[in-house]
């Protein structure tokens, strides 16, 4: 079966712009989470959605937002981009929520570069 | 605040050797401890996981040892192979945190032929 699909794979944006990243979860998965991966900070949790509702949010500024659609696909948006937002953004999906991420499957990520 | 500390940051092991990666956590509410393996250009993939009611879990060449009183857990890779060369992350979560994971800083493993 198809895995978690993230688009685009690579993105270059200019400081001050905004960007939208997309994630299509595994068919049937209703929970989608987003993580930011950088060499300095490692993997950090951004937010999690289940049935179109944000269930958890990490410690990121309000410039980072997300949403989930009725078909479980999710998007995350970063406004007023800063150089420090350059990172690999990873999406993970699972069938259910609250079981310790035992069914987590990650996508290959979107590499965002802010210049 | 880094709640999961991972060491070493990098590790070089000869083929056939044992790779050992250690993690320590602070939050005693954590009740699920997975390990992820990440290859360049790919997302992390679940390798093996343990809950605190057992002290050890083995799957093939991969073993997790868990010490609840010390709040530490470790990954052992037996008979390490060049194909195991990747970055390994420990993580932790609580049952009431949804699927939110707190990751360690990662260990870059290189297995020399």
- Lowest-confidence pick of B4-13, B56-65, B89-98: B89-98
| A53 interfacial to chain B (CB closer than 8 Å) | no
A97 CB neighbours in chain B (<8 A) are: 98-99
Long-range contacts of range A57-66, CB-CB < 8 Å, 24 or more positions apart?
A58/B100, A60/A36, A66/A34
What confidence score (pLDDT) does residue B1 get? 47
What is the percentage of chain B residues whose pLDDT exceeds 70?
A: 96
| pLDDT averages per 10-residue partition of chain A, 115 residues | 92 98 94 94 93 92 97 97 97 77 85 98
Mutate to test the interface with A, among B98, B102, B107, B108 (most CBs of A within 10 A): B98
Q: Do B101 and A104 touch (CB under 8 A)?
A: yes
Q: How far is CA A83 from the centre of its chain?
A: 18
Which residues in chain B touch residue A42, judged by CB atoms under 8 angstroms apart? 89, 103-106
B8: left (phi over 0), alpha (psi -120 to 50) or beta: beta
Numbers of helices and strands, H then E, in chain B = 0, 11
| Contact (CB<8Å) B106/A43 | yes
Contact call for residues B109 and B60 (beta carbons, < 8 A): no
DSSP state of B82: G
CB contact under 8 A, B100 and A90: no
Record the tokens describing residue A73, joined without a space: 């696909």
Q: Are A14 and A81 in contact (CB under 8 A)?
A: yes
A43 in reach of chain B (CB within 8 A)? yes
DSSP three-state, residue A84? helix
Give the model's pLDDT for residue A104: 84
Query: Residues of A with CB below 8 A from B43's CB?
Result: 4, 90, 92, 106-109
Identify the residue with better confidence: B31 or A75.
A75
* pLDDT above 70: residue B84: yes
């Amino acid at each position: 079966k198809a895995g978690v699909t993230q688009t685009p794979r690579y993105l270059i944006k200019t400081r001050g712009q905004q960007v939208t990243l997309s994630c299509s979860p595994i068919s049937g998965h209703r929970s989608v989470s987003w993580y930011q991966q950088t060499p300095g900070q490692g993997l950090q949790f951004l937010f999690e959605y289940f049935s179109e509702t944000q269930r958890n949010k990490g410690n990121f500024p309000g410039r980072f937002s997300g949403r989930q659609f009725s078909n479980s696909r999710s998007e995350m948006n970063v406004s007023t981009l800063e150089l420090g937002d350059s990172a690999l953004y990873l999406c993970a999906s699972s069938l259910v929520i609250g079981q310790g991420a035992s069914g987590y499957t990650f996508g290959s990520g979107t590499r965002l570069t802010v210049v | 605040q880094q709640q999961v500390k991972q060491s070493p940051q990098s590790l070089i092991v000869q083929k056939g050797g044992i790779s050992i990666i250690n993690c320590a956590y602070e939050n005693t509410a954590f009740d699920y401890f997975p390990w992820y393996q990440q290859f360049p250009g790919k997302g992390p993939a679940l390798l093996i996981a343990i809950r605190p009611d057992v002290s050890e879990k083995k799957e093939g060449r991969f073993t997790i040892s868990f010490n609840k009183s010390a709040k530490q857990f470790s990954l052992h890779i037996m008979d390490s192979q060049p194909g195991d060369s990747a970055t390994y992350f420990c993580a932790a979560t609580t049952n009431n945190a949804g699927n939110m994971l707190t990751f360690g800083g990662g260990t870059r493993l290189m297995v020399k032929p």
